[in-house]
Amino acid sequence: MYSKNVPSGFPKNFLWGGATAANQVEGAWNIDGKGISTAEVVKRATNRKDFTLNEVTKQSLEEALEDTSTTTYPKRRGIDFYHHYEEDIKLFSEMGFKAYRLSIAWTRIFPNGDENEPNEKGLLFYDRVFETCKKYGIEPVVTISHYEMPLGLTLKSNGWESRETIDEFTKFTKVLFERYKGQVKYWLTFNEINAAVWGFNGTGALDEGLPVTQKMQLRYQALHHQFIASALAVLQCHEIDPEARIGSMLARMQTYPKTPAPGDVRAAQLQDQLNLFFTDVQVRGEYPRYMNRYFRDNGIELEFATSDEETLKQGKVDFLSFSYYMSTVTSDDEDITKATGNFALGEANPYLKSSEWGWQIDPIGLRITLNELWDRYQIPLFVVENGLGAVDELTADKKIHDDYRIDYLRKHIVEMKESIKDGVELMGYTTWGPIDLVSASTSEMSKRYGFIYVDQDDDGNGSLEKIRKDSFYWFKDVIASNGEKL
């Protein structure tokens, strides 16, 4: 549609805020009836660039079940949000948050995953969290499954490998939609649904020792079960609470060709399709054709139940949310220099600087991605994770001068604003880890994303005192000016 009106900035009701996940903040892993989750058997990395979240084997699982340490397994400890949520949300409100994205620990509600009745104490905890948000005028944005599930379901039926897990999940989501109707307006089904193809962290399924083809077969089948579970949750949500909106969540990785050579451009196109496959299914309601060839070439054969195609078609999401930390480069050349990132690895881009963890910083890539996603889907977009993991230094007078974080966020906000002028419909922006938390990939504490410093080290020592960083005051101004004062 032609119009002379080009937006000048962020819309009036833009959802500014921050995002966390239960397994990275809550702690209190074994109280009030909570069961053990798949995240709580993941060991802390010994090397900063080693990801441990998919490294769970039968043997490591047995060891974890014998060991009650929260130092070896830091996601059991988090930052004890379970006991400090009031103080933490109050700090968010001080920054003027309009939204707080959090996730629900499935194991608080169904400790083993297969009980008939939910655990009331777990439900009460989230009642209190949502009431606190309400008190401060903060809209909760709730991820139903963020990198965890009851370990009971892994032990019983290898997590999402089993189709039965769909039923356990829909039992869980029904409880959530009924209980929190009217309290939660925005839901996300699976955090970074593409994580399923990277292994245990996404699937809750052990697949050690399998040949690559069988491993990928298992993961894509597990993913298919998640697609169905997600679509069923969309249908449930719409029926139980017609006012609520429910979205998908993707780890978005914009891919560039290494050179203008057509072979490289094609390699980048394929890489991009393999990243957008997930949202193609969840937004358009069907598997895209390019995946048929990919599955055939990789020896993957999916099992579909007769109703699955219809379920996917009916259960299309209302909006698309995604995390954005970096972009990646690819070519059809085998001999490449790898860069690191949140899971997907690509080539290093000589035009970009990297974080201390090797994640390539690319604010313009966010504008490119926003335009691409909007052009492809034409449904509202929501940036639900973005941020800089860095080592912060506490000065003698207890200050943190994190101008590097401000610089990172500022540049990304500038590009979001440009994309809004380009015509993109953007609902909100929740930065990752507004308060320091346990890292997903390495379980370190020293990889900090927050506006709020938490006094806790990698071993779990510290008073948990909260200190406002320089970025705290900066982000407060950004929100108060609706993105004009950057």
Which residues here bind ligand BG6, judged by CB under 6 A?
A: 21, 24, 147, 191-192, 251, 323, 342, 385, 389, 432, 439-441, 447
**What CA–CA distance (Å, rounded) separates 128 from 102?**
13
Smaller CB separation from ligand BG6, 420 or 454: 454
Q: Nearest approach, Cβ of 449 to ligand BG6 (angstroms)?
A: 7
Is the sign of the CA dihedral 81, 84, 90, 91 positive or negative? negative
CB of 450 to ligand BG6, least distance (A): 12
Q: CB within 8 A of 28, min separation 6: which ones? A: 34, 78, 80, 82, 83
- Residue 385 bears catalytic tag: yes
CB 189 within 8 A of CB 234: yes
Candidates 21, 110, 18, 25; CA nearest to 74 is: 25
- Smaller CB separation from ligand BG6, 271 or 386: 386
- Overall size of the chain counted in residues: 486
- CB 385 to ligand BG6: min, Å: 6
CB of 477 to ligand BG6, least distance (A): 25
Cβ at position 101, least distance to ligand BG6 in Å? 10
Output the six-digit token pair for 40: 């709580």
**Cβ 232 vs Cβ 311: under 8 Å:** yes
Task: Catalytic residue, from 26, 385, 415, 444: name it.
Answer: 385
* Residue whose Cβ sits closest to ligand BG6: 441
257 or 341: whose CB is closer to ligand BG6? 341
Q: Which is nearer to ligand BG6, 21 or 366 (by Cβ)?
A: 21
Which CB, 248 or 441, lies closer to ligand BG6? Answer: 441
Alpha-carbon distance values, 104 to 76, 189, 441 (Å): 15, 11, 19
Determine how many CB atoms are found less than 10 A away from the CB of residue 414.
Answer: 15
Q: How far is the CB of 39 from ligand BG6 (least distance, A)?
A: 10
- Closest approach of ligand BG6 to the CB of residue 233, in Å: 18
Amino acid at 293: R
* CB 226, CB 168: distance < 8 Å: no
Which CB, 285 or 434, lies closer to ligand BG6?
434
Q: Which is nearer to ligand BG6, 184 or 440 (CB)?
A: 440
The set of catalytic residues is: 385
